[in-house]
Structure 1
Amino acid sequence: MADKDPAALLDAARTWWSTEIIDMKPGVIRFRGYPIEQLIGAVSFPQMIWLMLRGSLPSLNESALLEAALVAAVDHGPQAPSIAISRMAVTCGLPLNGAMASAINVLDDVHGGAGEQCMELYADIARHLDAGLPLEQAVEAGVDAFMAAHGKIVSGFGHRFHPVDPRAPRLLGLVEAARERGVVSGRFAEIGRTVEALLQRRKGRPIPMNIDGATAVIYAELGFSPPLGRGLFILSRSVGILAHAWEQTRQGGRIKGPMPPSVPYSYTGPAPRDFPG
């Protein structure tokens, strides 16, 4: 390295990390070209999220729809593993950052991935539509492919706790209002409702869209890619995780397990036996 041109080394150092997101120099901070001092107090947090992820600022109506989805998913109680983990982590001595990290780490395919998976389903159906299939056939093809890859549970529909998820109808109502104002096309809302109708016909009972299906509609309508759907959910749920971790910090307690000690677990191993030594 010593015999290399200093200018070339400096240029290599400058290009080692390349980003279009932030430009920072002494006394200067710009996000996507905008000075931070002009953004502070002028844009909302959802607008800032959009700017950071997409490189542009959303309209106020787009920002409001994004914000609604973020608000809807912040918490689902201690029965949600991520929330329970944040509280247990605090009682094991972790500070807030450790509790939040522990909780966020479980937001993977099974607990936390349904929104992204539902967005992928909607996107696959949209590709069938673009190829010329009628809506009903496109939905049939998309759902069949999804079930072949993931099993009989279709992410974004049905709920183990709520007969009807109270968040979904409200979000879909906001999407419809946004469609009427020309903010979104309504294409993915129509896809989602058609999936819901197909599942009801096949199962012989309602399988209502849940929070993951409804936020998937919103994120898809707003043009976010499926992987960002999971990232946005994690941003949203982090608020609930932080709130529960902080509440548990104030409540105190030591090594709080998933259930009270008075509630036994089931042992299913071998009967008592002697070591054959």
Structure 2
Amino acid sequence: MSDTHNDVSDWWATSIIDMAPGRIRFRGHPVEQLVGTVSFAQMIWLLTRGDLPTEAEAALLECALVAAVDHGPQAPSIAAARMAVTCGLGLNGAIASAVNMLDDIHGGAGEQAVELYGWIDGAATSGAALEDAASAMIDKWRAGRGAFIPGFGHRFHKPEDPRAPRLLQLVDEAAAAGTVSGRFAAIGRAVQQILNERKGGPVPMNIDGATAVIYAELGFAGPLARGLFCLSRSVGIIAHAWEQMNQGGRNKGPTPPAYRWTYTGPDPIGNSR
């Protein structure tokens, strides 16, 4: 009986939560001691990292979370949430539909930027000058992953994404206070400079590149950077889904019904349009 009990209880082993009747502990902290004393950002850190951050670390994390909450209905994830609501889904279904679209191309660049910054940091730590390390790792990324450098370039915000300078300023302030090292801010700026020089014009650091600086400075792994982006963007997703619920509408597709798509298949009667 004991072996059977252990087989069942050990099926899901976790250090995150200890729960029994009348007891809830997160990473060893009783929930009643956390409620009212830690922020949501601190709670995210505690559950994902295993310890509580300082208030300064949590404040910097919160800055990244706040900056990425929304980017309008033209963002595929936000559009998906609004369309889902008009098809009858509730908020939970709208959130699921939207978050499932946050993958490598839309939503994954932050994770990739943390990875790239890590390559550059490793090369620089090995003795290369920062600019040389950044240039070499940009070339390595393009050779293996494609032409787009994650975290840089924006189809709307040119020559500058307004979120990036503010986030970098906050990293600089945190570095001056000793909260973070500041080396990943320097890496991000080096990538920015190299891309600008190679193009002969601005290639703006975008929200993914800027938040990746913060996540790397705070020691978050790349995959967690993507998860944190999903948490952040879920705020905008909920807001848009709720707004659409109150606006109404049924079966709204990506374009108004009067606008048709471009048909490129066979046209036996010459009258497809």
The TM-score range, normalised by the shorter chain, is: over 0.9
For 1:148 and 1:24, how far apart are their aligned partners in 2? 49
Corresponding position of 2:19: 24
**1:43-84 deviation per Cα after TM superposition (whole angstroms, max 9, x unaligned):** 000000000011111111100000000000000000000000
What residue ranges of structure 2 are gaps of 5+ in the alignment?
A: none
Q: Is 1:148 paired with 2:151?
A: no
For 2:8 and 2:215, how far apart are their aligned partners in 1? 37
One-letter amino acid matched to 1:114: A
Q: Which of 130, 135, 138 is the aligned partner of 1:135?
A: 130
One-letter amino acid matched to 1:216: A
Corresponding position of 1:202: 198
One-letter amino acid matched to 2:162: P
CA RMSD in angstroms comes to 1.1
One-letter amino acid matched to 2:201: R
Corresponding position of 1:258: 254
- Using the size of structure 1 for normalisation, the TM-score is 0.95
One-letter amino acid matched to 1:204: G
One-letter amino acid matched to 2:222: P
For 2:142 and 2:269, how far apart are their aligned partners in 1? 45
Q: Which of 164, 171, 175 is the aligned partner of 2:167?
A: 171
Q: Is 1:115 paired with 2:95?
A: no
What residue ranges of structure 1 are gaps of 5+ in the alignment?
A: 1-5
Percentage identity across paired residues of the two chains: 65
Corresponding position of 2:208: 212
Q: Is the 8 A contact 2:86 2:250 kept in 1?
A: yes
Q: Is the 8 A contact 2:111 2:226 kept in 1?
A: yes
- Which secondary structure does the structure 1 equivalent of 2:56 belong to? helix
**What displacement does 1:273 show?**
4.8
Q: How many correspondences in the alignment? A: 269
Corresponding position of 1:242: 238
Corresponding position of 2:222: 226
Q: Which of 157, 160, 164 is the aligned partner of 1:162?
A: 157
Corresponding position of 1:3: none
Which structure's CA Rg is the greater one? 1
For 2:107 and 2:268, how far apart are their aligned partners in 1? 40
**What displacement does 1:150 show?**
2.1
Q: Is 1:268 paired with 2:255?
A: no
One-letter amino acid matched to 2:18: D
